[in-house]
């Protein structure tokens, strides 16, 4: 292979679930796709902060269920990238192996450096971030596996640590060891010594170097990943792997599979205002605050309130005489927690999952490749949705066994097909779709189509859809 000439290929790992940021983050719309710190979503911000640093188009590794969210967020920001779909989550070591194998394949066996980033981190100092990347480049070219260690500013017990060894140059150190999350007293000793960094989960290395180490240490993972890309297919904007081979791959992190067992690990310190936004309290820590230490989002009124994070997505939040609280309101849930207990939010999500409640998985507003719908009211035998269809988009040709529907156009133009009969509807017009009728909805116009859908019937679940034709390749 030729070495070191190909541009750096960013590999963005976008498969996390973010349960500790419930109720904003949910299984089908996790935190990497939310705008939590600024106007851009966390995925968009991850890609935007690479601007000004020379890279090839990124590879986004994501869950099958999130593919249309990723594609839409890239489209909105005109970001070129390849979207690789994982048939199942198998942790970071296999995901990075897939990215490395594809990078070699797509670069005609040139050996690009991979820059591995999580899609759900915040980095506030882009210049310092770029400086750390520049320091890592020649080391990656020389065959080192670089991990970026965050210079700690407090004795944090929620992060793993990296102990630095001998200097490699004036900007990097050999890795002496990786250390698990410490107790507070140990973390204080780490901070005082100056020899430890937070483990950021960001890496840079040549594709071939990573694969060689993976093959040496975990040939089972390497072999499964080779099989998984043996027969990739392209579906719309997405690269699909060989499902059986990838599903059978062992699940393991890059730390355990490669980094802890290699003799080539190097840590480059980074002091760039980094946070993994792993909880509501960490989001409070990095956000701008008012004179009372509060972070206020949305429609919020405070009296005698201190050091709180108050986020309203739907209704007015009013607080009086409270301190150190996290209050997060969404259209279908309100979460209240003390800042010291926010790590326990994941226990609420576990209970919701055990009860099979939709609040663990879905928001009231659900995004689809054609637009979105918001379930604004429901009862025993009815449900009301507000549906928005993007210009040029079309819902699947479908039918329902258990429900009838009534559509009222609020704005825009709707092309409705019912049992092969086509009708054009405009504002304030409506149409009825009987139970069992084969139907489709399309927006032929230049502006979004907004309509109200009233469903009635004995069963109103989303799985009562029989699709006959779908432009987005859904089953």
Write down which residue in 353, 385, 405 finishes a domain. 353
Instruction: Examine the domain organization and report whether 165 and 39 are in the same domain.
Output: yes
Closest CA to 429 of 442, 447, 414, 448: 414
Average pLDDT in the 310-333 region? 96
The answer to whether the bond into 23 is cis (omega within 30° of 0) is yes
- Is the domain of 102 the same as that of 246? yes
* CA pair distance 311, 317, nearest whole angstrom: 8
Tokens for 33, please give them.
Answer: 């796709």
Q: Of 275, 299, 334, which residue is a domain's last? A: 275
Task: Give the mean pLDDT of 55-70.
Answer: 94
Instruction: Give the count of beta carbons closer than 10 Å to the beta carbon of residue 304.
Output: 10
d(CA 234, CA 160): 37
65's tokens = 């269920």
pLDDT band at 3 (very low <50, low <70, confident <90, very high): very low
**Final residue in a domain of this structure, among 353, 385, 402:** 353
Say whether pLDDT at 109 is over 70.
no
Query: What is the pTM (predicted TM-score) of this model?
Result: 0.91
Please report whether residue 359 resides in a domain. no
Cβ-count burial 334-364 (b if 16+ within 10 Å, e if not): ebebebeebeebbebbeebeeeeeebbbbbb
Residue 23 reports pLDDT greater than 80:
yes
> Could you report the per-residue pLDDT of 295-312, keeping only the tens digit for each?
999 999 999 999 999 999
Residue 399 sits in the same domain as residue 348: no
CB neighbourhood size of 413 (10 A): 19
Same domain (yes/no): 284, 337? yes
Kindly state whether residue 236 falls inside one of the protein's structural domains. Answer: yes
d(CA 162, CA 200) in angstroms, rounded, equals 9
Write down the pLDDT at residue 363.
93
Same domain, 264 and 346: no
Dmax over Cα atoms in the chain, in whole Å?
A: 76
Do 40 and 125 have their domain in common?
A: yes
Count of domains for the chain: 3
Domain boundaries, position 411: 365-469
Residue 317 shares a structural domain with residue 450: no
Residue 3 lies in a domain: no
Per-residue model confidence as pLDDT tens digits over 335-370: 999 999 999 999 999 999 999 999 999 999 999 999
Long-range contact pairs involving 374-380 (C-beta distance under 8 Å, separation at least 24): 374/331, 378/460
For residue 6, the model assigns a pLDDT of 55
Q: CB neighbours of 463 closer than 8 A, spacing ≥ 6? A: none
CA 428 to chain centroid:
38
Beta bridge partners of 453: 385, 407
Q: Kindly state whether residues 211 and 311 are assigned to the same domain.
A: no
% of the chain with per-residue pLDDT over 70: 98
| Tokens encoding 207 | 């594709």
């Amino acid at each position: 292979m030729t070495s070191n000439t190909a541009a750096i290929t960013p590999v963005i790992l976008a498969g996390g679930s973010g349960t500790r940021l419930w109720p904003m983050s949910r299984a089908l719309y996790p935190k990497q796709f939310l705008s939590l710190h600024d106007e851009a979503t966390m995925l968009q911000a991850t890609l935007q902060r690479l601007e000004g640093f020379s890279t090839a188009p990124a590879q986004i590794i994501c869950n099958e269920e999130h593919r249309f969210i990723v594609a839409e967020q890239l489209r909105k920001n005109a970001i070129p990238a390849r979207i690789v779909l994982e048939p199942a989550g198998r942790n970071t070591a296999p995901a990075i192996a897939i990215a490395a194998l594809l990078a070699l394949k797509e670069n005609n066996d040139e050996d690009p450096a991979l820059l591995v980033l999580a899609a759900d981190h915040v980095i506030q100092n882009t210049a310092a971030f770029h400086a750390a990347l520049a320091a890592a480049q020649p080391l990656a070219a020389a065959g080192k596996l670089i991990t970026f260690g965050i210079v700690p500013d407090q004795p944090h017990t929620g992060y793993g640590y990296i102990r630095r060894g001998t200097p490699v140059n004036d900007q990097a150190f050999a890795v002496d060891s990786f250390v698990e999350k410490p107790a507070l007293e140990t973390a204080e000793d780490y901070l005082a010594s100056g020899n430890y960094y937070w483990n950021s989960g960001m890496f840079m290395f040549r594709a071939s170097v990573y694969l060689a180490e993976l093959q040496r240490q975990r040939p089972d993972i390497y072999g499964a990943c080779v099989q998984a890309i043996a027969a990739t297919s392209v579906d719309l904007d997405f690269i699909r792997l060989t499902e059986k081979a990838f599903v059978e791959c062992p699940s393991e992190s890059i730390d355990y599979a490669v980094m802890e067992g290699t003799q080539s690990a190097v840590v480059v310190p980074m002091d760039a205002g980094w946070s993994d936004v792993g909880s509501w309290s960490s989001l409070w820590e990095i956000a701008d605050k008012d004179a009372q230490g509060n972070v206020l989002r949305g429609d919020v009124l405070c009296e005698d309130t201190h050091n709180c994070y108050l986020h309203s997505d739907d209704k007015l939040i009013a607080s009086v005489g409270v301190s150190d609280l996290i209050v997060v309101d969404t259209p279908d849930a309100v979460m209240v927690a003390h800042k010291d207990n926010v790590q326990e939010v994941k226990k609420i999500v576990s209970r919701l999952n055990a009860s099979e409640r939709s609040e663990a998985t879905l928001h009231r507003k659900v995004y689809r490749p054609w637009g979105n719908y918001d379930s604004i009211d429901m009862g025993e035998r009815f449900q009301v949705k507000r549906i928005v269809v993007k210009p040029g988009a079309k819902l699947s040709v479908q039918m329902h066994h258990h429900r009838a529907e009534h559509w009222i156009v609020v704005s825009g133009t709707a092309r409705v097909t019912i049992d092969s009969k086509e009708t054009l509807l405009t504002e304030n017009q409506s149409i009825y779709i009987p139970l069992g009728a084969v139907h489709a909805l399309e927006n032929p116009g230049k502006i979004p189509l907004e309509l109200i859908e009233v469903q009635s019937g004995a069963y109103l679940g989303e799985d009562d859809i029989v699709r006959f034709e779908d432009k987005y390749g859904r089953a």
